[in-house]
Structure 1
Amino acid sequence: MLVRLLYASRAKAPLAITTTDAILDKSRNNNRTNGITGILCYSDDLFIQVLEGGRDPVCQLFNTIVRDDRHVNVRILSFEEISERRFGAWTMGQVNMTKVNPSVLLKYSEKQELNPFACSGHATMALLDELIATASVVSRSS
């Protein structure tokens, strides 16, 4: 059974680009082995991530993420059983949200800033769909 998990969190401290790159590299390697796909959107202190795959591997990975001391305020925005993957082209695609046009953010939230804690999981998923449609997701690797 396939599931999709959407969550948001804040970084305990600003992460260097080398740290973010290391997280993405490790994710891509581990996710390929575990059949997990998805994307990671990040800014200075904010993460939004979608994980897709089998229920047990996705839940196990999420539990690992929750225990990672680099995160605080980890919140599930959406969890659902799915019939097909939406983010299947990426073992872990990435979007640097500081490079996204603020008008796109305003379309899905109250202000021209990314704050998944102040909008619905549905709106956040719609934003991610738009980022895919506008080719904002990079590092395709399946």
Structure 2
Amino acid sequence: MLFGIGRARVSSMECPAPRQLSRVVYISRARTGSRRSDIASLLAQCDRNNPAEELSGLLLADPTSYLQALEGPVDAVARRMALIRTDRRHSHIAIIAEGPIPARQFGHWAMIHRDQTAMSPEAFSRHVAMDVAAVDDIALKAVFLGFARMTV
């Protein structure tokens, strides 16, 4: 089907529909003993793969757990979660929330990361509070703030 716009004619194939965005928030238990190298490799993967997949999010880690929000196109989020479910660094994955979203809450980052073991519990809590300050979704914000405050 063709649409007339002034003198130009544009095919509907040239006007792609906006991609539906999805978010998944999960918590998992850190499975392996070498967390520092696990986190470093995980973040290297995020830096390498997330921009190409249009994924963004926030990853928190404490000595025993990970909490992550992952946002992006529906198909990319589903593929990444399938990989996470088989990743040796995670066990006992529990989905907190998932589904379509109208807009990203963590769109400025390929993946921001905070590791509680790399700073004091108070500093960790302060950093997370700053990271989620602009988050509009109050329930999403509460999940991350609650996780951060559990370490104080």
TM-score (normalised: structure 2): 0.66
Distance 1:57 1:25 in 2: 18
| 1:99-139 superposed Cα distances (whole Å, 9 cap, x missing partner) | 3429x5xxxxxxxxxxxxxxxxx7564243699xxxxxxxx
**Corresponding position of 1:59:** 78
**Corresponding position of 2:35:** 16
SS of the residue corresponding to residue 80 of structure 1 reads strand
Structure ranking higher on relative contact order (CA contacts 8 Å, 6+ apart)? 1
In structure 2, relative to structure 1, the CA distance for the partners of 1:69 and 1:130 (3 Å cut) is closer
Q: Tell me how many residue pairs correspond in the alignment.
A: 115
**Corresponding position of 1:39:** 58
Q: 2:91 aligns with which of 72, 76, 79?
A: 72
Larger of the two Rg values belongs to structure: 2
TM-score (normalised: structure 1): 0.70
Task: Say if 2:122 is the partner of 1:101.
Answer: yes
Any unmatched runs of 5+ in structure 2?
1-19, 126-137, 148-152
Native 8 Å contact 2:38 2:89 kept in 1: no
Task: Say if 2:45 is the partner of 1:26.
Answer: yes
Distance 1:67 1:18 in 2: 18
SS of the residue corresponding to residue 83 of structure 2 reads helix
| 1:2-39 superposed Cα distances (whole Å, 9 cap, x missing partner) | 01110010012233313211210111210111000001
RMSD (CA atoms): 2.7
Q: 1:2 aligns with which of 4, 16, 21?
A: 21
**Corresponding position of 2:104:** 85
What is the one-letter code of the residue matched to 1:101? E
Distance 1:93 1:123 in 2: 19
SS of the residue corresponding to residue 106 of structure 2 reads coil
SS of the residue corresponding to residue 101 of structure 1 reads helix
Any unmatched runs of 5+ in structure 1?
105-121, 132-142
